[in-house]
């Protein structure tokens, strides 16, 4: 083989390795692609729109150019003579009350904060859903490996049963092995269905996946350990109170992204109430004009106008009452979200504790017992006092326990993921 062939082979091998790496989907890669989810892009556009709109808040209205003609005669000797009338060119400027302009600025600031927090929440929701679906793929791959190991056990059992049957053994063992193979095939089909459904749901957030693209890498720290201050939970102090205490719940709820978005809606309702109340304040306007009278003499005109909110009972007051009612409703909704936040947090903590206990018991008690059973079955089989069927059945029980361990680990990782993202702190904005 010449040097050119060797170089071509090296390039081809490098391409294959690069393609293999590209088909491995890490959680970081999935989360990076989640930044382009439609909800995230839509919320980012909404934030940009609110930012641009806020620049015009509280500004004076545009001035108006005023052209006027007075004493334009329709009868008499000066009929239709434009030069015999008074002509005026002026500028009029309206000056809304300072309270109205300040209320408009506060509403724009609240709208900007609300859009920013809704963008945070959209990003968080996308990252949460992508993380949960990636975890599903991760643990489904582990179950697939265990089912493959189970398939090897069944094949070994079939060979043993067929050999025993040819020597005059009991045919029940061979029949049982065939039935186990059919049950395994059903389990593999269901697993493949779950993989396809999970991949389809994940593609909804991060775009189409390659046919062989699978979850790879290690679990994130927040999925391996209970959430703490270092893993993203909102507990700022090293000596933070224990979960479940009122002080800890209040601190966590204060900074949680979902509740910050709800609080932003409260601030928006407060700004709308402020604007409705400012409608009762007086506006004024000024108009200045210059022109000529019928004799050609220069003239100047100045006018000042003042609004008279004399009928607030039927105009401004109903709008103020409506704004107050809306604010009360938004505040009640925010309190409801805080209560729901606390409920979800307590449920997730309880679920995580229960799963921890079950996994600990499975690892410390169940699996050692099954391993001991396998050792006894192997010893009995080697001594001629046991059967191969009992040994294989003992190994299958261990694989079933290992599959249950994967299910429990997947459930615990999902609970930790939900708790991690539930407690995510929002960004700090200097507005």
pLDDT > 90 in the chain, percent: 49
Give the model's pLDDT for residue 387.
67
Per-residue confidence band for 19, with pLDDT thresholds at 50, 70 and 90: very low
| Poorest-pLDDT segment among 222-236, 294-308, 406-420 | 222-236
- Give yes or no for residue 301 having a pLDDT over 80: yes
In a domain, 19, yes or no: no
Can you give the CATH number for the domain in which 266 is found? Answer: 1.20.1600.10
Q: Residue 132 domain-assigned? A: yes
Q: Is the pLDDT of residue 359 over 90?
A: yes
CA–CA distance, 292 with 90 (Å, rounded to integer): 12
**Which of 112-116, 174-178, 236-240, 273-277 comes out lowest in average pLDDT?**
236-240
- In terms of Cα–Cα distance, which of 175, 147, 186 is closest to 389? 175
* Banded pLDDT at 1 (limits 50, 70, 90): very low
Specify the number of domains making up the chain: 1
164 assigned to some structural domain: yes
Mean pLDDT throughout 181-202? 88
User: Alpha carbon of 54 to those of 59, 61, 74, 96, 219: distances in Å?
Assistant: 10, 15, 50, 18, 42
Q: What is the pLDDT of residue 22?
A: 40
Domain assignment present for 15: no
Q: Is residue 86 part of a domain?
A: no
- Owning domain of residue 363: 39-77+100-422
Residue 412 domain flag: yes
In terms of residues, how long is the chain?
431
Label each residue of 237-282 as H, E or C: CCCCCCCCCHHHHHHHHHHEHHHHHHHHHHHHHHHHHHHHHHCCCC
Can you give the pTM of this predicted structure? 0.76
The answer to whether residue 114 is domain-embedded is yes
pLDDT(157) > 90: no
Q: How far apart are CA 340 and CA 348, in angstroms?
A: 12
Q: Would you say residue 176 has pLDDT above 90?
A: no
Instruction: Average the pLDDT over 147-164 and give the result.
Output: 72
Average pLDDT over residues 387-402: 78
Going by pLDDT thresholds of 50, 70 and 90, the confidence category of residue 384 is low
Residue 88 belongs to some domain of the structure: no
Asked if 107 and 264 touch (Cβ cutoff 8 Å), the reply is: no
Interval 383-392 mean pLDDT = 69
């Amino acid at each position: 083989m010449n040097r050119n062939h060797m170089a071509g082979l090296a390039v081809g091998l490098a391409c294959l390795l690069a393609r293999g790496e590209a088909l491995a989907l890490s959680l970081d890669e999935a989360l990076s692609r989640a930044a382009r989810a439609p909800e995230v892009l839509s919320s980012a556009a909404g934030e940009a729109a609110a930012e641009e709109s806020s620049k015009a808040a509280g500004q004076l209205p545009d001035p108006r150019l005023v052209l006027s003609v007075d004493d334009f005669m329709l009868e008499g000797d000066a009929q239709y003579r434009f030069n015999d009338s008074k002509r005026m060119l002026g500028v009029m400027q309206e000056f809304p009350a300072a309270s109205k302009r300040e209320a408009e600025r506060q509403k724009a600031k609240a709208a900007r904060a609300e859009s920013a927090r809704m963008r945070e929440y959209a990003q968080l929701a996308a990252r949460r859903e992508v993380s949960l679906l990636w975890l599903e793929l991760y643990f489904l791959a582990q179950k697939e490996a265990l089912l493959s190991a189970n398939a090897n056990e069944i094949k070994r059992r079939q060979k043993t049963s067929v050999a025993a049957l040819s020597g005059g053994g009991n045919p029940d063992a061979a029949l049982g092995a065939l039935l186990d193979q059919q049950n395994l095939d059903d389990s593999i089909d269901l697993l493949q269905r779950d993989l396809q459904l999970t991949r389809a749901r994940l593609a909804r957030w991060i775009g189409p996946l390659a046919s062989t693209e699978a979850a790879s890498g290690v679990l994130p720290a927040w999925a391996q350990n209970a959430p703490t201050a270092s893993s993203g939970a909102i507990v700022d102090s090293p000596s933070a109170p224990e979960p479940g205490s009122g002080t800890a719940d209040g601190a966590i709820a204060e900074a949680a992204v979902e509740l910050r978005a709800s609080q932003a809606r409260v601030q928006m309702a407060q700004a709308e109430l402020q604007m409705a109340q400012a409608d009762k304040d007086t506006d004024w306007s000024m108009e200045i004009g210059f022109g000529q009278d019928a004799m050609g003499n220069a003239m100047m005109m100045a006018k000042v106008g003042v609004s008279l909110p004399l009928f607030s009972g039927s105009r401004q007051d109903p709008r103020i009452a409506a704004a107050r009612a809306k604010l009360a409703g938004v505040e009640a909704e925010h309190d409801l979200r805080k209560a729901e936040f606390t409920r979800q947090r307590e449920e997730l903590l309880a679920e995580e504790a229960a799963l921890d206990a079950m996994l600990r018991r499975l690892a410390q008690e169940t699996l050692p017992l099954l391993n001991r059973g396998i050792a006894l079955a192997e010893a009995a089989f080697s001594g001629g006092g046991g059967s191969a069927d009992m040994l294989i059945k003992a190994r299958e029980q261990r694989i079933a326990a290992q599959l249950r361990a994967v299910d429990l680990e997947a459930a615990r990782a999902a609970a930790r993921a939900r708790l991690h993202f539930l407690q995510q702190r929002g960004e700090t904005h200097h507005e």
